[in-house]
Every structure is written in structure tokens, then in C-alpha cells.
Structure 1
Amino acid sequence: MMAATACLGLAACEPAPDRGAEADGAAARPNSAPNSSATPPVRNVGPSAESASLAAYYRRLENDLLVRGLMRTDGGGPDTPFTDTMLARNFVQIALYDEYVSTGGQLQARTTQSRLRRWDIPVRYAAEFGPGVPTGQQAEDRANVRNYVARLARVTGHPITYDESNANFHVLFLTEDDRDNIAPRLRQLVPGITDSSIRAFQTRDRGTLCLVLAFSQGGSATYTRAVALIRAEHPDLLRLSCIHEELAQGLGLANDSPAARPSIFNDDEEFGLLTTHDELLLRMLYDSRLTPGMTEAEAGPIVRRMATELVGGPV
């Protein structure tokens, strides 16, 4: 399983709207208040055969992961120690590299060196649902997003809120049927969004569990808006796992690393929810000693000092 962020994982940078915005990587996880005028009409029929088949597939996938002892929700413990050196190394790999690149109008998985990106303006999350998402599931997902947003605010110290009236980070919960008609809404949320970004949201690859695309103005390294996709066919834990990964990656942790542990920014799916290690990564990302646009050479010495302050020895 994997996840994608725009510049996917915040990974692939591509020109977008506002005077050449940059789609900075998402976190698509492969087999790893909305404007009412833009909301598709409510359907009076049940899910399509394709959507029902996906729901059955994802139930089997979640069960398989749990049987194998994966998708842990404990945040890490004595069996997952890490040192300041490991934390600093993981930060560099996750925050200063991209997971995807845009080539020929397509997003391709390829780890490349990048620069530090994050939000300087307040982040305002809002959950939005396609007409195919059951009402009860909507209430559960909205509550989970609200609770997680409060946690992200505490961890980062950045102004982060849940605000459906003036959102700049939209979390879209969509069924397979809903995604077919999502292009107009995406163009409304991100004026000038590229066709490749829209195709990423409409992919038929069931290995893409969820993704997030974050955008910046021109060549800036500061984000101004983001849009996440979470498949509504996922069972409860997979949906919650997608919320944790995509909403955090959309803040600037664009890449995944096989060495990161305990972490959700690792495609091995050992952990399903944000860990104590990941909280430290977010805290470092929004530390005032770092600034958007920093390269690995510029940020590295500061990151190592911060990691020593936070961890010191094994945790």
C-alpha cells in the first residue's frame, strides 16, 4: 500500500491556478461548507456494482492488514525506539524530498530532492461529501476530521481550524460513482487546476487509497490551498488512516520513507494512525527556525539541533 501527495506525497510539482500555482505533492495511498450550487444532485439509487465491489475489496484489504498485525493505532512503543539521529534523518527524507514528479502531464512515482514547504497562512479544513456517501458515515467522518484537526493545531502550534464557511483545505469523501463528476468541483476549488491533477482524483486504480494535492502561488514554497480525496468505500479504520495521513502530508510532509518508524509516512502500513514520532516531525516542520524554501543543506544543521532537543537519546 502507498499514499500519494501533490506534488503527490506532496510529491509532484505541477503548474496550477492562481498565476501558476504549484501542485505540491500528495499522498496517494496505493495498495497502501461546500458550495451547494456545485454539489451534484442527490441520487435515488444505491451504489453501482463497481462501487459495491470496491467496498468488498477494501473490507478484505483492511482485514488482511489487521490479521498481519499492521495498521497499528498505538502510536509506537518500547518495540519502536528511535534516536535524535534517526528523527533528523527521517525529517529530511519526508519533508525535503518529493514522492512524485510531473512528467508529460502525468504524475509518476520518483523520489526527488526538493525544498521545505509548509503553510504560512492559517489552515482551514472542511469535510465535503459526495451524494453517494451515507448520512451516518458522513457524521462519523466529519467528527474524525474535526478531532484530528484540533490535534494537528496542538502539535504544530500553527493556526489550524475546522471551518466549512471559509475552507482552504478541502477533504473530499467520494464514492467511485461520485468521482466521475468531480471535475467541475475541483476546478471551482482550485482555479486553473491541471488535467493531470483531475485525472489523479478520477483514477480507476484501486491501489490508490487516498491522496492530497497541495498548491502554492507561482514558485513559492508556501501553500495556499489543498484538496484531499478519501474513498468512501473504505471501512472505518482505512478511512481514518487516510484522514491521518493525507491531512498531515498536506501540511508539508510530502514524502514517505521506508526507514521511518514508528510512522505513517512509510509504505509498509505498520502504523495506521499518526504516531508520537510523526508528531515530532510536524512540530519540527512548523518550528520558526525553519523557513519555506530551505534546501537540505540549509535546513539540515537546524533539523539536527531540533531533533537533539526533542529526543536526545532513544525514545
Structure 2
Amino acid sequence: MQKLTWQIISLWLCAQPLLAAPSAATSWQNIEYIERAFIEVALKNEYRQTDMKLVKWVAPIQYQFTYLGLPKNPFIENLTVTHLKQLHTITRHPITHVRTGHAPNLQIIFTKDQHYQEAIQRYIQKESKALSRDSNCSASFQLNQQHEIINANVVIPIDYVMSRGLLPACIVEETTQVMGLPNDSDWVFPSIANDKSKLDLLTGLDYILLKLLYSPDLKPGMDRQQIHPILQHLLYQWKTSNLIQGASKKVKESGLYPLIY
């Protein structure tokens, strides 16, 4: 039997002030900075020690919406589908909706705040006690022995996050992190991985991190030493082709940006 590992991620309440940005508006586009950010966000996890190995989906993602104590909400589903389509556009990884009766490998659970703890215990599995009220929304994913993500759950208490203006942030951060970027970091900026930055939507840096993660050259289970030369090659290539310089503009052309801004 294959050993399975659960990784827990969550969007935490943030009362701290906005962190200072890098010294210049474009400093995140530095190749060394991007590589350091990728290692920080992709190989670490804020809730548990990891073996510093790359994790990602290999099988197509098939998602389904589940409601706990709530009626179906087409508006919120549309927001989520729009973001998932953007994730597919960036990564080129298959992400499709499956109807009731088919087994999903990604469940997106919408619930009320009063059922949030129950939903965490049911869907997020282990290490869930600390997540309930200190977090706005939560997610987890499950790995096989090859460090492939094989299953994931996202839980969003709709009334709670809407009352705080956090619905887009919860949809974007949790579904993006279960792609295989599970760690939050106070210094990675600009990025949804930085909770203190209060960014709701994907940034140019997030765009590049996702494209790196789903490059065919990066395989689940690779460690930092194996990843380094591949990252350097890709990033120098993308710098030359102006992909990095144009990432901030490109990421705003799809997803929730046209709906919100």
C-alpha cells in the first residue's frame, strides 16, 4: 500500500500592517529572487516540516462543488470556475468540472461559519484543530509516495469571508496553493503567498511560480539541488524572451481581474 501524506494550508487572519515591498517595483523580476521565492513557497509548508521535495499534480484535476448548510450559489461557483480556468491557462494542466455522481479529486466545500469547524474536521483531515477560528478558509492536499498530489479539499465559510471582503482572496489563495505551492511567507512579495500583503488576486510573481511548477522539466519528488539548474535555465530563457517582464500585465488579462477591476 502506498504511503499517503496530508499537507494542510490555510489563509490566516492578518492584523499586521502591509509589509514593505522589495526595494524597487521590478526587483521581484530578479532571477535569484524568483528562485529563492519558488523554493520558499513550493518546497516548504507553514504547518508541518517537509522533506523539501517538489509536489504537484500529474493526474488531471477533476473538481466538484459541495455545500454544507448552504444552498447552491451560482455566483460564487462562477467566481471559482473563472479562477480555475486561469490556473489552467497558466499551468496548462487539465482542470475540469465533474458533475454529481462522478468522483472528484478536488472538492471545493462552501459552508456557513457555524459549520466551519465541522467541515474542517470532515474534509481537511489531520492537524485541523488549530485551523478553525484562526483562519478564514482552509485547504489540504494528499500525496502519494511519488510526491504527486492525488486529492485535495478546499473549505470556505461563505458568510464569514464575505462579511470581511475576503471571498476573492480565499478562492484564489486556497485553490492556487493546492496546485503545489503550499507555503506562506512574509518576505515573498508581491504574491498571494504573503498573507500580510493583502493581495487578493494572482500577481506577476505568482504567474511565474505557477509556470515554473508546471514546467514539464520539473518532476514531483525533485529536491532543491535537482531543481536549481532547471530553474536557472528556464528563468534565463524567460528573461530573454521578456516573459518575466510581461508577467504582471499578462496575469491581469484573465481570471478574476476583468470581473473585479
Give the TM-score of the pair, scaled to structure 1. Answer: 0.66
Partner of residue 170 from structure 2, selected from 242, 264, 279: 242
What's 1:214 paired with? 141
**Does structure 1 residue 92 correspond to structure 2 residue 18?**
no
**Does structure 1 residue 128 correspond to structure 2 residue 55?**
no
Equivalent residue of 1:209, what SS?
A: strand
What's 1:79 paired with? 25
Does 1 or 2 have the higher relative contact order (CA < 8 Å, sep 6+)? 1
Partner of residue 222 from structure 2, selected from 294, 297, 309: 294
Equivalent residue of 2:135, what SS?
A: coil
What is the rounded CA distance, in whole Å, between the counterparts of 1:116 and 1:124 in structure 2?
A: 21
The Cα of 1:298 is off from its aligned counterpart by 0.9
What's 1:144 paired with? 79
Equivalent residue of 2:197, what SS?
A: coil
Q: In the superposition, relative to structure 1, how do residues 90 and 297 fare at CA in structure 2: closer, same or farther (>3 Å)?
A: same
What's 2:206 paired with? 278
The Cα of 1:257 is off from its aligned counterpart by 2.3
Q: Mapping of 1:1-315 within 5 angstroms?
A: 19-23=2-6, 25-32=7-14, 79-82=25-28, 83-101=30-48, 114-131=52-69, 133=70, 138-165=73-100, 166=102, 167-179=104-116, 181-182=118-119, 186=123, 194=125, 196-197=126-127, 199=129, 203-205=131-133, 207-217=134-144, 219-232=145-158, 233-235=160-162, 237-312=165-240, 315=245
Deviations 1:149-194 (A, max 9, x none): 11111100111122234321111111132235447953xxxxxx85
What is the rounded CA distance, in whole Å, between the counterparts of 1:112 and 1:293 in structure 2?
A: 11
Equivalent residue of 1:229, what SS?
A: strand
Equivalent residue of 1:121, what SS?
A: coil
What's 2:258 paired with? none
Q: CA RMSD in A?
A: 2.7
Equivalent residue of 1:242, what SS?
A: helix
Q: In the superposition, relative to structure 1, how do residues 80 and 141 fare at CA in structure 2: closer, same or farther (>3 Å)?
A: farther
What's 1:106 paired with? none
Q: Where does structure 2 lack aligned partners over 5 or more consecutive residues?
A: 246-261
The Cα of 1:283 is off from its aligned counterpart by 0.7
Give the TM-score of the pair, scaled to structure 2. Answer: 0.79
The Cα of 1:268 is off from its aligned counterpart by 1.2
What is the rounded CA distance, in whole Å, between the counterparts of 1:306 and 1:262 in structure 2?
A: 20
What is the rounded CA distance, in whole Å, between the counterparts of 1:248 and 1:28 in structure 2?
A: 11
What's 2:259 paired with? none
Question: Any conservation in 1 of the 2:109–2:153 contact (CA below 8 Å)?
Answer: yes
**Code of the aligned partner of 1:91:** F
Aligned residues: 234
**Code of the aligned partner of 2:200:** G
**Code of the aligned partner of 1:209:** N
**Code of the aligned partner of 1:248:** T
The Cα of 1:198 is off from its aligned counterpart by 5.2
What is the rounded CA distance, in whole Å, between the counterparts of 1:184 and 1:87 in structure 2?
A: 35
Question: Any conservation in 1 of the 2:60–2:93 contact (CA below 8 Å)?
Answer: yes
Question: Any conservation in 2 of the 1:28–1:212 contact (CA below 8 Å)?
Answer: yes
Q: In the superposition, relative to structure 1, how do residues 258 and 124 fare at CA in structure 2: closer, same or farther (>3 Å)?
A: same
What is the rounded CA distance, in whole Å, between the counterparts of 2:151 and 2:214 in structure 1?
A: 17
The Cα of 1:214 is off from its aligned counterpart by 0.4
What's 2:253 paired with? none
What is the rounded CA distance, in whole Å, between the counterparts of 2:193 and 2:118 in structure 1?
A: 30
